[in-house]
Structure 1
Amino acid sequence: MASSHGGSRGRSCPLSFLSSIYDLETLDTRFTTPSSVPYRAANDKREGDRAVADKRVEPPKWRTPEFYFYYLVFLVVVPYMFWVAYDVSRPSDPRYYKFQKRLRDGWIPGRKIDVSDAQYYTFRTNLPYMALLLVFHPLLRRVWNAVHPVPPELRAARANVPEAAEARLRQRTSYDAAFALFFLVALHGFSAAKILAILAINYRLATSVPKRYIPAATWVFNICVLFANELCSGYKYREIARLLTGSPAENLVTGTSGLVALGEWMDRHGGLINRWEILFNITVLRLISFNLDYYWSLDRRASSPIEKKQLDPANLSERDRIATPAAPHDYCFRNYLAYAIYGPLYLTGPIITFNDYISQQRYRPATLSTPRTLKYGIRFALVLLAMELILHYDYVGAISKSRPDWSSYTPAQISLLAFFNLHIIWLKLLLPWRFFRLWSLVDGVDPPENMVRCVSNNYSTLSFWRGWHRSYYRWLLRYIYIPLGGSSFRTGLDAARTVLTYLVVFTFVALWHDIKLNLLIWGWLVVVFFLPEIAAGVLFPPKKWESRPTAYRMLCCVGAVGNVLMMMAANLVGFAVGLDGLESIVKGIFRDYSGLAFLITACAALFVGIQVMFEIRQSEYRRGINLKC
């Protein structure tokens, strides 16, 4: 009997470990702990969330005849989807020659890999060097701490003793500021001076402009920086020298002055990433965060919110870390530089506010755990493997970038090429975000997870936006959406103001990504696609359907199918094929009756998938978790 139990434990342990890797707690403790509650251990009962969840919890449906039918659909449809994408990617396909040049020899024997996406190809090529940096950076911090130790009398003090916390803050931010200078020069060479100049001007705006003008000056300056970086191509030193010397363009042919030649030489030494301006957008968000956090702190210096609420500064909730202003002396240039160019999060984020950064530097977050960070690293590796397998077997990116004749593809092939294209976009964004967050966790800072769910596990436009690039969504809430008044649909005037707020937010989002028409169209399409879901919520309130839960679930699922189709269209326009490409895809689907038949079949398959999504969220509600996405 004992050996039997031992064998059972032996079999269950690997499965239990694999399950824990995909637990929400592993991904981000914010998903299982309310933002208003300090993080606690596994015995946290999360009363607040459970009270909300109990109102909407339904009995499990996983073992009902309805869901057994859904499982059968999954067993047929999912392999078919992968087969269609694989079939059009094979060398035997007559269109293979059109996209073959976008493929390279892969590490899977007999397979090539799709390298048509420059963003992922760059990440993939540099991943070994970034992995070394992930190890080197925290080790170098240990060396720094040994050279600049915390005084012995404070080292022995408890972490929440103010003097010990201040010493930890100085030690960590001084290292981050020093590493920031080294990091900038290594990445951008002589262009590091341009970045530091932008940072210095922004800092002066926050600390020198009269208080009432700080918000306006901050927004005007940083939006101008976004446009100027794009329009001036990163301010080439050669062009600056020509302006200073008055050298006309013809001199580039007949000869250059010494200053222009020096500018050309400096432009050639632009570090590992010569085009610094294409990655600077994420830094702009941190510059705005610093300025506005500083501005709001000016109104709260008379009293400390921590003392007023009698909070433990070493065990603050995430909401308190973000909302509680840092101490006046924390808004110094050293801390500002350390935050704006914090190595692990500099290139892609996730985004963390200045107040939160300072709080985590002063007190180590209780959410950090070595076993959890290890599992998070394993999860990153599994996602990387999934991306590699898809690119080795489904060449959907290469096909879509080779100006295909969509009329030569069947409606099923067109639709699934678009579907897998969206998954590749999701994965190529997820991987850098997750890698750099892993680096930050190893270094002792816990930023928000950017992706809550797989792109295939979304049916609500509003919820999709909350869970996609989540740290950016939270940044928009704090610095744009809430200051503009948030949302309300109580009256027609409130509804109009809310729609205008959405348009302002998504116009900024589109222009922040890039100054391109297709992204601006994407941003406005997202707002347009919000409206049917909002209207449906008003016309079909849950309270009126409490006596008919199954009918309400079916009704919601029909609306969700439409939402999914609209979200796919918007993201294809913004990040994949553009408006012309989407038009070609739609024409290809509707060119004959077979396309219409496929569309009906695809909607039926989406209906089944969304029913499973509903039940996934119900299982989370039963555990007291409400992700709102």
Structure 2
Amino acid sequence: MSWLYHLKKLYSLDTLDARFLPKQTLNELKIDPAKPSPEELKSRQDDRKASFPPHGTRPSKWGTLEFYYHYLIFIICIPLMFYTPYVVSKASDPRYPIFEPLLSPGWIPGRKVDNSDAQYASFRDNIPYMAIVLILHPILRRLYDSLWRSNTYTQIRVVPGDDRGLTQGLSAAAAADARMEQRITFDFYFALVFISALHGVSALKILLILYINFKIAKDVPKKYVPVATWLFNISILFANELSRGYPFESLLALFPPSQASSEAKGPSAAMALSRWLDSYGGIVPRWEVLFKITVLRLISFNFDHYWSLDKRASSPLEKKQLDPSSLSERDRVSMPAKPGDYTFRNYVAYTLYSPLYIAGPILTFNDHISQIRYPLPSITTHRTLLYGLRFLLTLLTMELVLHFIYAVAISKASPDWTSYTPFQLSMLAFFNLHIIWLKLLIPWRFFRFWALCDGIDPPENMVRCMSDNYSAFAFWRSWHRSFNRWTVRYIFVPLGGSRATAGESQTWVMLRAGGNFVAVFTFVALWHDIQLRLLMWGWLILLFILPEVLATKLFPKKKFRDRPDLYRWLCGLGAVGNILMMMAANLVGFAVGLDGLKGLIQGIAGTWNGVVFLAGACCALFTGAQVMFEIREEEMRHGFNMKC
């Protein structure tokens, strides 16, 4: 059954992100220079589980009578969920001519492909070119290392001596500094070439923004840096969007022509030059769309540098007696880099790091510098190859969905929603959300795979399937996870977070935490796009979190310690409401908008048949929630606690 083991390993949590490995396993990776094989690690985990059963976990319910009922619901519902939108996507459906113009030729015989989502289409159409860059980038780095390795980390060795520990420590530090110098130099020049190819002459605009932000971090008086950083970067977000990337022709139009030039016939030489410059926009002329993710790194650099100024009197590494080559992720993020690391070259290499430049995931500056100095022991060829295979299977899944279920094209064609049955409407909405999830998941995993191949391990952005979420809080933590952690570090915690300080009343703490959540979700919505529907999405997510908070207060788990099944069923009822609200919020923000959601709701709940269907759907969601609970219990039994 080795194939079953490898299939299980392919979809294990540590293949998705080694950060989910139990701490003891991570420690073994750090101290074992041979980096134990997956089979050895599994054997050690099994031994630990046999000796120390996880605290607080319940016995497995997979073989109980209740779960056999849940299996029956799954066997009936899941095939119907796929078959229903497939039927309304067939050419024989009478509504097919309405959305057929939005379809494109497909590679599966007899099927067209729904490539009508412009955001994903731009990625899908460029996959062959990005794959070439993914292959060339590591090859060029190795070629660079082979040609310029004078006194680099590859030549530094431990020198035996009387004080071997001190000598080894000095050699390791020198090796780390040399490794950083080697990688940063390559990253800096490759990034300049990369953005020039992507954006043409607009690369100069990007470098100018980067330079101004760097000067804010370095030259503005320390107490004004946080405010100046936020004002500048939020202004850049708005300015980029409203000016559509500052075309040179539009910039020139801000300066009125002289009387002599206005009387001359034809465009001026300056206007002709500006149009000529605008014509060299690179592969992606609209650089401002991609720059949103860079703004997060600009803020990260400024604040990491700002906070480092308070810690330069003593080294946190020496204070905590930590080994810099085996820091936890928490320490890599919170501990400042060396004072000499906050240079313009390092800053450019970080903010424009090619594998993560287009879409992330997001690494903080401190974490990036730490990983450049000391490669993570969790990055292995075996795990990286499994992650790449998992990405390819996800890409194939998306291709099959787009070839057989035309949910996006149907919604874009503004159909008569009343012509669909409630079940058809709900499944079109459901697959619309799944396509949104996949179209974000695939680019994030592609660029993370590129970074892993290059020896950098950013956080996994999507750690749960969209259909494996029942909590609004946990959903936010597992959807664009690196962005969520960024907002916690740079917005939520600096504003005061949700922890009480001495003398604060509980009411004031809750009000302050609520205000901080409003600030976070408002920024998140505006960062995605300056549109009313996305602002409504952010506030809807915040509004829908409130029932979960209140239910947690009213029904604390400790009150049901002797009735765990009753508590689980009550949580299942709450999960059904959470799932419906999260689906509604994401449909408003990323799919059909508020008017489209109203049409869907009226089509589903506007008739008695629709009400009966909705009741049946809630029962199915309750079954799904119970399975989600047990999945998380199973993870806990294996030592994984994802907290989402």
Instruction: Give the corresponding residue for 2:619.
Output: 604
Label 1:92 to 1:292 Cα distance change in 2 as closer, same or farther (>3 A): same
3-state DSSP of counterpart to 2:254: helix
Label 1:385 to 1:554 Cα distance change in 2 as closer, same or farther (>3 A): same
Label 1:346 to 1:35 Cα distance change in 2 as closer, same or farther (>3 A): farther
Report the Cα distance in structure 1 between the residues aligned to 2:77 and 2:246, rounded to whole angstroms.
52
Instruction: Give the corresponding residue for 2:78.
Output: 78
Cα distance, 1:244 vs structure 2: 3.7
* Segment of structure 1 superposing worse, 239-248 or 89-98: 239-248
What number of residue pairs does the alignment pair up?
Answer: 617
Instruction: Give the corresponding residue for 1:430.
Output: 441
Instruction: Give the corresponding residue for 1:520.
Output: 535
Q: How does 1:70-469 map to 2 (within 5 A)?
A: 70-151=70-151, 155-157=155-157, 161-244=172-255, 246=257, 255-469=266-480
Cα distance, 1:156 vs structure 2: 3.4
Report the Cα distance in structure 2 between the residues aligned to 1:591 and 1:254, rounded to whole angstroms.
64
Cα distance, 1:493 vs structure 2: 1.8
Cα distance, 1:35 vs structure 2: 11
Structure 2 residue 29 is the aligned partner of structure 1 residue 18: no
Instruction: Give the corresponding residue for 2:161.
Output: none
Structure 2 residue 19 is the aligned partner of structure 1 residue 30: yes
Cα distance, 1:56 vs structure 2: 3.4
Instruction: Give the corresponding residue for 1:57.
Output: 57
| Contact 1:348 1:436 survives alignment (8 Å) | yes
Report the Cα distance in structure 2 between the residues aligned to 1:163 and 1:289, rounded to whole angstroms.
26
Instruction: Give the corresponding residue for 2:162.
Output: none
Q: Which runs of 5+ in 1 are unaligned?
A: 1-11
* Alignment counterpart, residue 575 of structure 1, candidates 590, 595, 603: 590
3-state DSSP of counterpart to 1:86: helix
Cα distance, 1:247 vs structure 2: 7.3
| Contact 1:50 1:623 survives alignment (8 Å) | no
Cα distance, 1:146 vs structure 2: 2.1
Report the Cα distance in structure 2 between the residues aligned to 1:424 and 1:626, rounded to whole angstroms.
28
Q: In structure 2, give the amino acid aligned to 1:21.
A: L
Post-superposition Cα deviations, 1:450-505, rounded to whole Å, max 9, x if no partner, equal 00110000000000000000000110111011111112587222211111110000
Label 1:208 to 1:35 Cα distance change in 2 as closer, same or farther (>3 A): farther
Label 1:316 to 1:286 Cα distance change in 2 as closer, same or farther (>3 A): same
Post-superposition Cα deviations, 1:561-607, rounded to whole Å, max 9, x if no partner, equal 00000000000000000011101111111221000000001000001
Q: In structure 1, give the amino acid aligned to 2:97.
A: Y
Post-superposition Cα deviations, 1:113-132, rounded to whole Å, max 9, x if no partner, equal 10111111111110011011
* Segment of structure 1 superposing worse, 225-234 or 482-491: 482-491
Q: In structure 2, give the amino acid aligned to 1:16.
A: Y
Structure 2 residue 556 is the aligned partner of structure 1 residue 541: yes
Q: In structure 2, give the amino acid aligned to 1:391.
A: L
Q: In structure 1, give the amino acid aligned to 2:16.
A: L
Instruction: Give the corresponding residue for 1:6.
Output: none
Q: In structure 2, give the amino acid aligned to 1:73.
A: I
Cα distance, 1:152 vs structure 2: 6.3
| Contact 1:414 1:589 survives alignment (8 Å) | yes
Instruction: Give the corresponding residue for 2:599.
Output: 584
Post-superposition Cα deviations, 1:188-247, rounded to whole Å, max 9, x if no partner, equal 000000000000000000000111111111000000000000111100101112224537
| Contact 2:26 2:378 survives alignment (8 Å) | no
3-state DSSP of counterpart to 2:126: helix
Q: In structure 1, give the amino acid aligned to 2:126.
A: N
Label 1:544 to 1:177 Cα distance change in 2 as closer, same or farther (>3 A): same
Post-superposition Cα deviations, 1:501-525, rounded to whole Å, max 9, x if no partner, equal 1000000000000000000000001
| Contact 2:560 2:567 survives alignment (8 Å) | yes
| Contact 2:22 2:639 survives alignment (8 Å) | no
Cα distance, 1:367 vs structure 2: 1.2
Q: TM-score, normalised by structure 1?
A: 0.95
Post-superposition Cα deviations, 1:420-465, rounded to whole Å, max 9, x if no partner, equal 0000000000000000000000001000000011000000000000
Label 1:440 to 1:496 Cα distance change in 2 as closer, same or farther (>3 A): same
Report the Cα distance in structure 1 between the residues aligned to 2:526 and 2:229, rounded to whole angstroms.
17
